[in-house]
Amino acid sequence: MKSSCMRMAAAIAATVIPLTAEAVDYDVQRIDLRPANSPLTNILEINAQGQLLGFTGTGQIGLLTGSTLTTVKLPGAGQIGDLSDNGTALVYYSGSSNGSYASHAYTFSAQHGLAEIRATSSQVVTLTSLPPPVTSSAGHVLMNGSSSWPGTVLSQPDGSFARLPFPANGGATGVNANGVVVGYTTNSGRTSSAAYWSAASGLQPLGNMGGSMAYLLRVTDSGLALGRRAPPVLGQPDSFVYSLASGETRFIDGLTAAEYIDEAGRVYGFSASGEGYAVWDNGELTALDPLVGPATDPDHSYNLADVSSDGRVLITDYRSVAFILRPVPEPGTYVLTGIGLAAGAWGARRRRAA
């Protein structure tokens, strides 16, 4: 009798653990972006702390932490690059000064204010606006140069920097906390190969993934790189996830033009069926548009602005409203988890008593 009860407890616990990992719902927060109702009138970035980065009604760059707003005004027309999980934002501006074109990139946080990144202050790189600078949670800053200062620069957490061997007609698009950089290489702009770089392995091209062009967009701290290939292969997915650890590639069915990936491996993009934004989670799709309802302005559709590392989704309509979709366990999951934990604890007590 005792052994059968213990087996039953183990079976319940084994059943509950996958359900806990897969049963996810979204808590939806609506933000009215009109100046009278929000300190930020345009939100572009969100992180795992729930901090928001955007612009205020007066044109300043604002970092919103709870109800506390920290602002900064750049000398030129300020632009926003990225917001890391540690609360550090990247901001920059470009323009002419004394007859020469220059750009300056800064880190910006509520704790440390504004600090210029040496790679731009030393004129190692003059930034282009696309792709914008990105940062990792460990403090790496990745920047692509312009035609006059070509190449890719990686600023290290200690303040040093180095040029990376991405060719001038290639580019880098993402960096993780381990300093792994992802992007692409090109051959005269006609073909491209997805590629990644690390200090240990150097530049590693991965090929065009069955298309004429392929590139990596983002990389998680756990080593999952999100990529796309073009032109789309008829009847086949265009988005894929490449594992740096195993070297395996998995194409994402039911999703097209993927833009984001979180640490849980969930992928975000457009539904291949044309039903708007969706999230792919281990083969299952969840439509996001129905969670926020129809656009408030028929002339401006919703925009998938950002996804944090823990899966918080930021959707905006550019003008008057933003939505934050936060993944939370479904109520039933809590019940099943409680049953599993209780069963496991009961079994442990029986074993100790024996």
| Local confidence pLDDT in tens for the 354 residues of the chain | 444 443 433 343 333 333 333 535 899 999 999 888 999 999 999 999 999 999 998 889 999 999 999 999 987 788 999 999 999 999 998 776 555 666 788 999 999 999 999 888 777 777 766 678 899 999 999 988 766 666 788 999 998 988 898 876 778 999 999 999 999 998 765 678 999 999 999 999 999 998 889 999 999 999 999 999 987 777 789 999 999 999 999 999 999 999 999 999 999 999 988 888 999 999 999 999 999 987 666 666 789 999 999 999 999 986 689 999 999 875 444 444 444 444 444 444 444 455
- In 3D, which of 212, 262, 271, 220 has the Cα closest to residue 244? 220
Q: 3-state SS string over 119-174?
A: HHHCCCCCECCCCCCEECCCCCEEEEECCCCCCEEEECCCCCEEEECCCCCCEEEE
- The Cα–Cα gap between 213 and 120 comes to 30
Phi, psi at residue 226, to the nearest 5°? -90, 130
Question: pLDDT by residue (tens digit) across 91-125?
Answer: 998 776 555 666 788 999 999 999 999 888 777 77
Q: What does the pLDDT look like over 199-216, one tens digit per residue?
A: 999 999 999 998 889 999
Q: Which of 283, 278, 292 shows the shortest CA–CA distance to 323?
A: 292
Strands (DSSP E) along 42-145, which ranges?
42-46, 52-55, 61-65, 68-72, 79-83, 89-97, 100-109, 113-116, 134-135, 141-144
Our measurement of the distance from residue 217's CA atom to the centroid of its chain's CA atoms, rounded to an integer in Å, reads 9
Task: Describe the strand order of the beta sheet including 152-155 as a list of residue ranges.
Answer: 134-135, 141-144, 152-155, 161-164
DSSP string computed for 273-331? TSSSEEEEETTEEEESHHHH-S-SSTTS--EEEEE-TT--EEEE-SSSEEEEEEEEE-H
SS3 8: helix
